[in-house]
Amino acid sequence: MFKEIIFSTFDPWKVIDDDFVDLTSDEGIVQAVINTYEKRNLEVAPNLVKAILWWNKESGYPVDIIINTMKEQYPMYCKYDDQVRKYLTIF
């Protein structure tokens, strides 16, 4: 499961998972998480939830603001929005 993202201006971003580290040139947490888990044929929505909660903890932004921003800026997120919201009700 997703643990964190390490990002840098000059180096590839690192998506850190319990089982792997993925270097990505994607711009944005949403793109990095979706592309990382899709290309490995792993579940995307629960890992997006973990990324949202991680970003909430790191940035202090409320979860609803993070989700609204994802919906506005990353059309690829909309595919997972219903599932993400279901998982968030569990947390």
Could you read off the pLDDT of 19-48 as tens digits, one per residue? 999 988 767 888 899 999 999 999 999 999
**H/E element, 44:** none
pTM reported for the whole predicted model: 0.87
When pLDDT is averaged across residues 62-83 and rounded to a whole number, the result is 93
Domain coverage including residue 39: 2-90
- Give the number of domains in the chain: 1
Give the residue-averaged pLDDT of 69-91.
91
CA distance 24 to 13: 5
**The two structure tokens encoding residue 57:** 């903890």
Task: Please choose, from the candidates 41, 3, 9, 42, the residue with its C-alpha nearest in 3D space to the C-alpha of residue 21.
Answer: 3
pLDDT(12) > 90: no
Cross-strand pairs, 14 = 6, 23
